[in-house]
Structures are given as structure tokens and as C-alpha cells.
């Protein structure tokens, strides 16, 4: 939806994922959208160089999140939230439902 404005569909995906989950790493984002890892890493690097994102190293993993000191952080988040309203309901639900732990054995769905 914001591809013409942001210049890349993967850039929009990265920003939407980080907005919904708060933070994430490249492999996690690539697996979520079922895309190659390299374009996601490049977008994360570009956004970090631009000051939109910040990262921290945890072991061998680089964890990214929005930069709270970025001048337009709130405006970018509002734009992404507004764009998400026009996503298909399944994709919206998938973005906000972030399950990190496995289900208990035998627990009903």
C-alpha cells in the first residue's frame, strides 16, 4: 500500500512488522513474510542508517526497533497504522497476533 511512498514493498513490510511487534530481527521478519533474507537485511540497514531504526546486538543476533529519538517517529507510526487499516483482515490479524511460545501439549485450539 505504501510502496510508492516508501520505495519498496520490503521496506513497508519491515516497518509494519516492527510497529506490530515492537522489535524483531531480520530472519524472523523474512520468515514471517516468506521472502528472502537479503532484501530484508538491506532494508533494515538502510532504515538504521537513516535513523528511523536502532539496533542492538544480542549474541549473534541483531535486534531492530523504532528509534524513539527519530524526529518523525510518531508520524511514521500513525501513517503505518492508517495503512494497516486497508490490509486484508487476515493479514492484519497475523501481524498483531505474535505467538512466541509453543502451545501446551493437548491444549485445544
Q: Is residue 20 part of a domain?
A: yes
Is residue 34 in some structural domain? yes
Q: What is residue 4's predicted lDDT score, i.e. its pLDDT?
A: 65
Domain membership of residue 103 (yes or no) is: no
Whether 79 is in a domain gets the answer yes
Average pLDDT over residues 63-76: 93
Please report which residue ranges of 7-104 form alpha helices under DSSP H: 9-21, 26-33, 37-49, 73-84, 89-96
Q: Which domain holds residue 13?
A: 3-95
The CATH number linked to 49 is: 1.10.10.10
* Residue 36 within a domain: yes
Residue 108 within any structural domain of the chain = no
Greater confidence (99 vs 42) lies with: 42
Using CA of residue 64, residue 66, residue 68, residue 69, what is the dihedral sign? positive
pLDDT of residue 94: 85
Residues with Cβ < 8 Å from 60, sequence gap 6 or more?
Answer: none
- Confidence label for 2 from pLDDT (cuts 50, 70 and 90): low
Give me 107's grid cell: 491444549
In a domain, 104, yes or no: no
The band of 6, judged by pLDDT with boundaries at 50, 70 and 90, is confident
pLDDT at 90: 87
Q: Strand, coil or helix: what is 96?
A: helix
Residue 1: its pLDDT value, please? 61
pLDDT of residue 109: 66
3-state helix, strand, coil in the chain (%, to 5): 55, 15, 35
Q: Who contacts 37 (Cβ-Cβ below 8 Å, separation ≥6)?
A: 26, 27, 30
Establish if 22 belongs to a structural domain: yes
Percent of the chain residues past pLDDT 90, beyond the cut: 65
**Tally of structural domains, the chain:** 1
pLDDT tens for each residue of 7-60? 789 999 999 999 999 999 999 999 999 999 999 999 999 999 999 999 999 999
Amino acid at each position: 500500500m505504501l510502496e510508492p511512498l516508501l520505495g519498496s514493498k520490503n521496506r513497508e513490510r519491515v516497518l509494519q512488522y516492527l510497529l506490530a511487534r515492537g522489535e524483531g530481527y531480520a530472519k524472523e521478519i523474512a520468515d514471517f513474510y516468506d521472502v528472502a533474507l537479503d532484501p530484508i537485511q538491506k532494508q533494515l540497514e538502510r532504515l538504521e542508517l537513516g535513523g528511523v531504526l536502532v539496533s542492538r546486538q544480542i549474541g549473534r543476533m541483531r535486534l531492530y526497533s523504532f528509534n524513539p529519538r527519530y524526529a518523525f517517529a510518531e508520524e511514521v507510526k500513525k501513517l503505518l497504522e492508517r495503512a494497516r487499516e486497508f490490509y486484508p483482515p487476515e493479514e492484519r490479524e497475523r501481524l498483531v497476533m505474535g505467538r512466541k511460545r509453543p502451545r501446551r501439549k493437548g491444549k485445544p485450539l
